[in-house]
Amino acid sequence: MFSNRVDAGRVSEHLTALDAAVETLLTDRLTGLSNDDVVEALQRIETSMRTLAAADQRVIVESAERSLPGSFDITPVEFLVKTVRISEGDATVRLRAAKRTGTWHSFHGEEQSPDYPHTAQAFRDGAIGWAHVEAVRDVMRQIPSHIDATKVEAAEQILALLARHADPKYVTRAGLDLLAYLNPDGDYTESDRKRQRGLRIGRQRADLMTPISGMLDPETRALLEPLLAKMARPGMNNPDDPASPSGTCESERVDRDALAHAAARDTRTTAQRNHDAFKVGLRHLLGSGVLGRHRGLPVTAIITMTLQQLEQASGVVTTASGGIVPVSDALRLAERANPVLVLFDHNGRPLHLGREKRLASADQRLALIAASRGCTRPGCDAPASMTAVHHVRDWVTGGRTDIDSEDLACDHCHALIHDGPGGWKTEVAPSDSEYAGRTLWIPPAHIDPTRTPRVNHRHHLDELFGILHGIITAREESELREWRAKWDPTFSGYRSSGHNDRDSHGSDTDGDVP
């Protein structure tokens, strides 16, 4: 693992000794410790973990300076996610901390001082952790650009000192007072505001709700406020009140008496009224047609459901942008829409729909969205709205623009398909295979020496539920072993005759990093 490196033996020895020490802590009895001993153990273990985090940061910096993520055609965040199996959020925090507190090198190999030297030293001492560094960074990035550099350096030193003796939330609260001291008049430049603007759409939760947060610049707020004043007024656009007026309160179609009665019945909070107004505004925007087309289709909500779901009006369906919507909500969205019927064969693939041109038609794209629902490369969760139609066999080598020989791939994954070193291949699964008609992705040898073809299950909840049901209902140990041999932890394995399954502990299931 550490071959061809001068210090390889020493690094390996240190890690082995670390593993042995941790194993001892896991097996030694703790009942003989006094209460003070338990407290001390908690504190020392936390300090050790923080110091180890600083060592981890050194390796992160080393990997970045070697451009390891780029050698696998992935971003630094993806590299950490796939290599050490952490969340995107954790990977982002670690990379941001490394940027500000890590020791980087110039082109000539000279060490460069960290941006936050006092925070970096506290991190190295094990006095603070990742969350402390993030709290310091969050305060520092809010300091206006016109503040004297000496004061900025002093602020970082103060924050680092606070972090050594308090939790991250305290650092954030104290940072607000520090910002007020540094900038008592609240003087912020346009550059300061541009740097802080942003809107974050979080991941959809189990209850199908989605968190949203961010920072609006003055112009955006000025545009939003009149919209909310017109559409979020009490009584307007209330989804729980069929008699509630829709649109804006100034519309000629709105009856003033009806609006007054609706307002008296309205029990929504201000936040709920803002939400409902935002939804109506988006509905009007999508229905106006001013957004044009995106990847060959009109900009609109595309939802796929089965005939059974339509008849029963229950369950959940997916959107082309990757969201999950209850069928009842989807049917309400479809009230003003023209439904498209797509027929599938017994393998779940669209029936033949071909053309002589290289670019897929809008109908073909709709059919592929209904069938594949997103990027088809194993492990990729890019929704259909972020994909383009890909020829499974390239057009220049004779591939046809037929529905049974094309599929969806996002731009990043499409670029991974090439004949050079490290390139992926794609092919259509044969009719006698478990996934007949689906697109198989064959990873390069450095990811999978056996080059076992794989399909993507990320966009097919029904398949995942079927797998889960099989695991739960497996009664005999032999059945359970068969399931484990067939499916890796992220369900991106593929079994067919002539190929051996990979050991689930021996390969990266998302297929980008060995």
The answer to whether residues 143 and 281 belong to one domain is no
User: Per the domain annotation, does 357 fall within a domain?
Assistant: yes
Question: At 288, which helix (H) or strand (E)?
Answer: helix 270-288
**Average model confidence (pLDDT) across the chain:** 78
Average pLDDT over residues 485-503: 44
Domain count for the chain: 3
User: Per the domain annotation, does 206 fall within a domain?
Assistant: no
The answer to whether residues 274 and 378 belong to one domain is no
User: Per the domain annotation, does 496 fall within a domain?
Assistant: yes
The answer to whether residues 301 and 270 belong to one domain is no
User: If you ran DSSP here, which 8-state letter would residue 385 be given?
Assistant: G
Of 230, 254, 288, which one is at a domain's C-terminal end? 288
Average pLDDT over residues 47-64: 92
User: Per the domain annotation, does 162 fall within a domain?
Assistant: yes
User: Per the domain annotation, does 276 fall within a domain?
Assistant: yes
Segment among 215-224, 385-394, 503-512 with least mean pLDDT: 503-512
The answer to whether residues 181 and 224 belong to one domain is no
The answer to whether residues 157 and 236 belong to one domain is no
User: Per the domain annotation, does 136 fall within a domain?
Assistant: yes
> Where is pLDDT greater, at 276 or 495?
276
The answer to whether residues 359 and 500 belong to one domain is yes
pTM over the 0.75 mark: no
CA–CA distance, 173 with 54 (Å, rounded to integer): 25
User: If you ran DSSP here, which 8-state letter would residue 349 be given?
Assistant: P
pLDDT in tens, 338-368: 555 555 655 665 654 444 443 445 667 777 8
Q: Which range marks the domain in which residue 226 is found?
A: 212-288
The answer to whether residues 231 and 335 belong to one domain is no
The answer to whether residues 298 and 399 belong to one domain is yes
DSSP letters spanning 446-502: TT-TT---B---TT-HHHHHHHHHHHHH--SHHHHHHHHHH--TTS-----TT-PPP
The answer to whether residues 47 and 126 belong to one domain is yes
User: Per the domain annotation, does 1 fall within a domain?
Assistant: no
Of 267, 288, 309, which one is at a domain's C-terminal end? 288
CA–CA distance, 271 with 211 (Å, rounded to integer): 13
Which two structure tokens, joined as six digits, stand for 28? 């030694």
The answer to whether residues 389 and 306 belong to one domain is yes
The answer to whether residues 150 and 280 belong to one domain is no
The answer to whether residues 248 and 308 belong to one domain is no
Of 288, 309, 333, which one is at a domain's C-terminal end? 288
User: Per the domain annotation, does 2 fall within a domain?
Assistant: no
